[in-house]
A and B are shown apart, each in its own frame.
Chain A
Amino acid sequence: MNLLASKDDLIRWLDSLLQERIVIAPVRVQEQTMFQPISKVEEIAFDFDNTTLSPKGWFLPPTEALFTVQRDDGQVNLVPALVERDAVVFGLHPCDARGIALMDSSFLQEPSDALYRERRSRTALIGLACRQALPECFCTSMGSAPDDPSHMDILLTEVKDGYIVQVVTEKGKALVPKGLAKYKGKVPTPPKLQAIPTMEVTSAMRGLFNDPYWERLADRCLHCNVCAYVCPTCYCFDVRDYSDKGKVERVRSWESCQSPGFSLTAGGYAPRTTKGERLRQRFSHKFLYFPERFRDVACVGCGRCVKACPVNIDIREVISDLQQLTEVKSGS
């Protein structure tokens, strides 16, 4: 059953959530929209296309301490990092909720990642259905949709009089304010997206593993980490110790398979040394290794990498190239 929240209802609702929880919401920062913890509801940008970074950073922050090392009289004590408060991620689109669900596959698999698990269980997702599809969007080809409520706790859809409130989970139900009217109107038709063919991308990836395609594609790749860092499903990380003025922490930070040192051992061995091998790793992980482990391909079609890549390595084009090359190879 759908409810209706007027714009004022929503503001009041968010305000009350903010009293008891951390609220992470889209905020305008210069020309961009970023998910950030807010201190006032007025900071929220309700009117945005897409955020520069996905909300994954709330669950896997760019940097976080895993534990602190304390020393008293030579006695070492490891103090685990805490997740202190409940939270709400507000305003995420369906593709991003799917991204979080895909991250769950790895981080919640035993032995599960404690901090991630704790944040995940203490955070509710109140999403916003997309009003429009951007030219770089292809979520419907990747198992999501502009109005997909899956993986959300609550999905809001903007209508003339406010927002349709679709309660998806028990966790969401507990957050809905009392007294919202039932919504009896029509649910708006979601925007149409151009579908890209994604059939058999995993087997195409496997079949073209040693194809010269990758070195050619990587010619223009800069091997920066932009694609990985804007991606809602890229989750590789680095762990190192950080010491500052006697304080010692074990810190985890984002890292990407595109950087040359990613898999370089202290002894000097690297499994991937060429540009093509490194770029292939990104697509192999998304289309081959991840689905082999967790069934789904690790892409949600949010289009962020398409938009952010400084040299236009367009993941949709890569998928279509793989399919064409596979057809050529099989002689059909």
Chain B
Amino acid sequence: MAPESPFIPCLATLKMAIQLTPDIKLLSVELEDPDIRASFDYKPGQFALLSAFGEGEAPFGIVSLPQQRDGLEFAVRRIGTVTRALQELEPGDTLGVRGPFGNWFPLEDYEGKNIIIIGGGIGMAPLRPVINRILERRDNYQELLIINGARTPQDLVFQSEFPTWTKAPRTRLELTVDRGDEQWKGRVALVPDVVKELAPSPDNAIAIICGPPIMIRFTLAKLRNLGFKDNQIVTTLEAKMKCGLGKCARCNIGEKYVCQDGPVFTLEQISQFLEQP
């Protein structure tokens, strides 16, 4: 008898793949089973495990919003064997989806607050549905400041959405790169320094941050200097995951299983269980 296994992914079809940056592709994915498709509900911050059959499975934040009925979107950066195989898929190819897993950004709790979104490189991916959800319910939030950094101008993700973000009321998009090029007229600075320069006020504010560990570390220091309390800083953790079910223990950090207890944590929570200060 075949047991109903939570390890078996739902089959899905790659609808579209857009090259966002030299190493990041936006994959638009449609679940094959119409019933599952209709019931697949998720919130900004949740993730799914994508399968490239023959190579394996890896976790990715879902970067679309559930009402986008045309499919689930994932930003996949080429970094290992699974991500390479996912990037090599052609529209019409089959892949696997398991999820949604994990917790989400409690955006309802942040209503009435100023929101500061700080993303670095591929770290912007899980923040994109947060931005779009806030813009969708723009009146429910105060000022929205988006700081989006990348190594080079080419590496900035979601560039096609920048005009929409900038045009939104009470919304400011600040771009920065570590290294400019001939066309780049914008800021050349590290994300933590931009945070320091712009000095957002901690009053009635929530900072949501995602990026490489080193960016996070230095940005946290700047935010704390600005007076942000650890419960005002929210992040989403990247961890090795193999099951998404709280069993394989690969994503176990401190007492937490990132796949089930996370990936979204406040800095206050993290500082209690992160094993390296």
A82-B1, A113-B6, A241-B53 given; A265·B247 CB < 8 A: no
Give 1 or 0 for each of A63-93: 1 = CB within 8 Å of chain B CB: 0001101000011101011110000000000
**In the complex, chain B residues whose CB is within 8 Å of the CB of A107:** 247
In the complex, what residue of chain B is closest to A292 when comparing beta carbons?
B255
- One of B7, B58, B247 near A106 (C-beta < 8 A): B247
A239 CB-CB contact with B under 8 Å? yes
* Contact indicator A69/B53 (Cβ below 8 Å): yes
| Complex Cα–Cα for A289 and B254 (A) | 8
| Complex Cα–Cα for A258 and B201 (A) | 43
* Contact indicator B53/A66 (Cβ below 8 Å): no
**In the complex, chain A residues whose CB is within 8 Å of the CB of B163:** none
A264-B240, A271-B274 given; A115·B5 CB < 8 A: yes
A257 CB-CB contact with B under 8 Å? yes
| Complex Cα–Cα for A273 and B255 (A) | 17
The total of chain A residues at the interface (CB under 8 A) is 50
Of A23-31, A184-192, A230-238, the one contacting chain B is: A230-238
* Contact indicator A114/B249 (Cβ below 8 Å): no
| Complex Cα–Cα for A114 and B274 (A) | 31
A76-B94, A238-B248 given; A265·B239 CB < 8 A: yes
A80-B2, A241-B56, A262-B240 given; A114·B7 CB < 8 A: yes
Give 1 or 0 for each of A247-259: 1 = CB within 8 Å of chain B CB: 0101010010100
- One of B4, B5, B239, B247 near A66 (C-beta < 8 A): B5
A117 CB-CB contact with B under 8 Å? yes
- One of B53, B242, B255 near A237 (C-beta < 8 A): B242
* Contact indicator B58/A241 (Cβ below 8 Å): no
Q: Is the interface on chain B under 10, 10 to 19, 20 to 34, or 35 or more residues?
A: 35 or more
**In the complex, chain A residues whose CB is within 8 Å of the CB of B243:** 237, 239
A→B interface (CB under 8 Å): 66-67, 69, 74-76, 78, 80-83, 106-107, 109, 111-115, 117-118, 235-241, 243, 248, 250, 252, 255, 257, 262-267, 269, 271-273, 277, 281, 285, 288-289, 292
| Complex Cα–Cα for A31 and B213 (A) | 49
| Complex Cα–Cα for A3 and B42 (A) | 57
**Minimal beta-carbon separation of B43 from chain A (angstroms):** 19
B275 CB-CB contact with A under 8 Å? yes
* Contact indicator B7/A250 (Cβ below 8 Å): yes
**In the complex, chain B residues whose CB is within 8 Å of the CB of A248:** 53-54
| Complex Cα–Cα for A282 and B213 (A) | 24
| Complex Cα–Cα for A266 and B212 (A) | 12
Interface residues of B in 249-277 (CB under 8 A from A): 249-253, 255, 274-276
| Complex Cα–Cα for A92 and B253 (A) | 33
**In the complex, chain A residues whose CB is within 8 Å of the CB of B54:** 69, 241, 243, 248
B38 CB-CB contact with A under 8 Å? no
* Contact indicator B3/A271 (Cβ below 8 Å): no
Interface residues of B in 1-51 (CB under 8 A from A): 1-9, 11, 51
| Complex Cα–Cα for A114 and B247 (A) | 12
| Complex Cα–Cα for A289 and B5 (A) | 25
| Complex Cα–Cα for A250 and B9 (A) | 11
| Complex Cα–Cα for A281 and B248 (A) | 14
Q: Is the interface of B mostly helix, strand, loop or mixed?
A: loop
* Contact indicator B240/A80 (Cβ below 8 Å): no
**In the complex, chain B residues whose CB is within 8 Å of the CB of A74:** 94
A69-B53, A239-B242, A248-B54 given; A277·B249 CB < 8 A: no
**In the complex, chain B residues whose CB is within 8 Å of the CB of A114:** 3-7
- One of A118, A263, A289, A292 near B239 (C-beta < 8 A): A263
| Interchain residue pairs with CB less than 8 A apart (19) | A66-B5, A67-B8, A69-B53, A76-B11, A76-B53, A78-B96, A82-B1, A111-B6, A118-B1, A239-B243, A239-B248, A240-B56, A241-B51, A241-B57, A248-B54, A255-B248, A263-B239, A281-B252, A292-B255
In the complex, what residue of chain A is closest to B79 when comparing beta carbons?
A266
B236 CB-CB contact with A under 8 Å? no
**Minimal beta-carbon separation of B196 from chain A (angstroms):** 24
B178 CB-CB contact with A under 8 Å? no
**In the complex, chain A residues whose CB is within 8 Å of the CB of B250:** 236, 238, 255, 262-263
* Contact indicator B53/A80 (Cβ below 8 Å): no
Interface residues of B in 50-69 (CB under 8 A from A): 51, 53-58
| Complex Cα–Cα for A200 and B144 (A) | 48
B232 CB-CB contact with A under 8 Å? no
| Complex Cα–Cα for A164 and B172 (A) | 79
**In the complex, chain B residues whose CB is within 8 Å of the CB of A250:** 7, 51, 56-57
In the complex, what residue of chain B is closest to A250 when comparing beta carbons?
B7
**In the complex, chain B residues whose CB is within 8 Å of the CB of A117:** 3
**Minimal beta-carbon separation of A231 from chain B (angstroms):** 13
| Complex Cα–Cα for A263 and B241 (A) | 8
* Contact indicator A66/B240 (Cβ below 8 Å): no
**In the complex, chain B residues whose CB is within 8 Å of the CB of A257:** 249, 252
B238 CB-CB contact with A under 8 Å? yes
* Contact indicator A78/B276 (Cβ below 8 Å): no
* Contact indicator A80/B8 (Cβ below 8 Å): yes
**In the complex, chain A residues whose CB is within 8 Å of the CB of B240:** 262-265
| Complex Cα–Cα for A308 and B25 (A) | 48
**In the complex, chain A residues whose CB is within 8 Å of the CB of B11:** 76, 78
In the complex, what residue of chain B is closest to A121 when comparing beta carbons?
B3
In the complex, what residue of chain B is closest to A84 when comparing beta carbons?
B1
- One of B9, B80, B242 near A266 (C-beta < 8 A): B80
**Minimal beta-carbon separation of B269 from chain A (angstroms):** 15
In the complex, what residue of chain A is closest to B212 when comparing beta carbons?
A267
**Minimal beta-carbon separation of B277 from chain A (angstroms):** 9
